[in-house]
Amino acid sequence: MSPVDGAGVSNPNLPVDQAVTEGRVPGRREEEIPELHEVDCPTELQEQIEALMARYPDRKSASIPALWAVQERYGWCTPEGIRQAAAVMRVTPAYLESVASFYDLLHTSEVGTHRIEVCTNISCWMRGGDELLDAFRAAAEGEDVFVTGFECLGACDIAPMASIDQRYYGPLEAAEAETAIGQLKAGQDVLPAKALAVRPLAADLPGGALAGSDDSSPHRATNPPSSENADG
């Protein structure tokens, strides 16, 4: 007899697991899926989430991008924003809350208007990532800026680096943290010389794969690559 079945010859004092004999009964009323008319979802957000859902055969696969859309609109995944997304997706708010609370880049509590993630993984750590994080935290103290360490941002070639409002910058020095915060407050371009978006492609450098080739080559990149991965 299995221990979950209760008392037996080898375990006479073992209690019976109620889940085996009666099934699992929720201790509270099952949460209902909110109706659209109950949540006053902005039309733009509704259309955005519906377009995301259309990309997937299972609507739940759109949960992360839908929550990202909520966060982009409200600054974080607010309870009301989650209810709005749940109503559009026809899932419970609790389901979306469980997704939002799992991922570091989705915030379930209010954060600053500006967000900075400093990479602290091995490549950045060996080149001063911890000191860079401390410098950003000190520079952002008292400001409307959320600063956190991040396990890996996938840009080891520009270590130590940080993501500032979803844009990658590096290699950075601790002394540049205060400059970056000041530029954010002033609405200026942040550390333009350190932005990954303006770095040349390897193929465009002297001796690169396309050196001496015709600019009309169909394989030649005409724009800098996207520097971020939102699912990080």
Which pLDDT tens digit goes with each residue over 53-78? 999 999 999 999 999 999 999 999 99
pTM over 0.85: no
- Helices 93-100 and 79-89: crossing angle, nearest 10°? 120
CA–CA distance, 220 with 204 (Å, rounded to integer): 9
Which pLDDT belongs to residue 27?
58
- Residues of the chain with pLDDT > 70: what percent? 77
In CATH terms, 36-100 corresponds, of 3.90.1200, 1.10.3470, 1.10.10, 3.30.750, to 1.10.10
Q: How confident is the model over 180-213, as pLDDT tens digits?
A: 999 999 999 999 999 999 887 777 777 665 555 5
Q: Does residue 47 contact residue 36 with C-beta atoms inside 8 Å?
A: no
The mean predicted confidence, pLDDT, of the chain is 84
Q: How far, in Å, CA of 60 to CA of 172, rounded?
A: 38
Per the model's pLDDT, the better-predicted residue between 228 and 133 turns out to be 133
Identify the CATH class of 114-202: alpha beta
Q: Which residue ranges make up each domain of the chain?
A: 36-100, 114-202
Cα–Cα distance for residue pair 171/158, rounded to 1 Å: 5
